[in-house]
Amino acid sequence: MIIKLDPERGKELIKLLYETYTKTGIFGKKEMPEDILPKGMTKGSREHVLFITFTVSIDYQRKADELWESARRTYEDPETRYLFYPEKVYESSFEKIKDDIKKHNLSWREKKRCFNLENPRDYFLGEVERGSIKFY
């Protein structure tokens, strides 16, 4: 089978998908679960970037709606919001992180290690020490 590229047909398909998504939704949805922000969060803020980054980093074979709802509940809870801030995770004990990440079902694998690391603090520390995370 030979696949022939057809840029014009591709553009038509993109327009059709966009129109369908904005008018009726795809699979009955007009909004992606990651587009719904936690209460009080500003789109494009540092908090928004950290929220998306952390949630995507733990997305492993999860139903998207459930994952993002759990992430929003975790962020909206003052006791667990620190999980989205690397510098605060670093200051917390492994046991506290492990317990808090389960509070709103953000982590749903009882027998697996948090972040697939022995110590979730290392997840953030290694990046900060290498200078690849910048805080503005």
Alpha-carbon torsion, ordered 46, 48, 89, 99, to 10 deg: 170
**pLDDT digit string, tens, across residues 45-91:** 999 999 999 999 888 778 888 999 999 999 999 999 999 999 999 99
108: buried, middle or exposed (CB in 10 Å: 19+, 13-18, 0-12)? Answer: middle
pLDDT of 119 reads: 54
**pLDDT digit string, tens, across residues 14-35:** 999 888 888 887 777 777 788 8
What is residue 112's three-state secondary structure? Answer: coil
- HEC string of 15-40? HHHHHHHHHCCECCECCCHHHCCCCC
* C-alpha to C-alpha distance for 47 and 92, rounded to whole angstroms: 19
Count Cβ atoms below 10 Å from residue 117 Cβ, excluding itself: 12
pLDDT of 30 reads: 74
Q: Radius of gyration over alpha carbons of the chain, in Å?
A: 19
For the entire predicted model, the pTM comes to: 0.63
Q: Is the confidence at residue 112, as pLDDT, over 50?
A: no
Cβ(98)–Cβ(114) below 8 Å: yes
Token pair, residue 34, equals: 């990651």
pLDDT confidence bin for 120, thresholds 50/70/90? low
Q: Is the confidence at residue 129, as pLDDT, over 80?
A: no
133: buried, middle or exposed (CB in 10 Å: 19+, 13-18, 0-12)? Answer: middle
pLDDT of 126 reads: 44
pLDDT of 55 reads: 92
Domain definitions of the chain by residue range: 33-129
Q: Is the confidence at residue 135, as pLDDT, over 90?
A: no
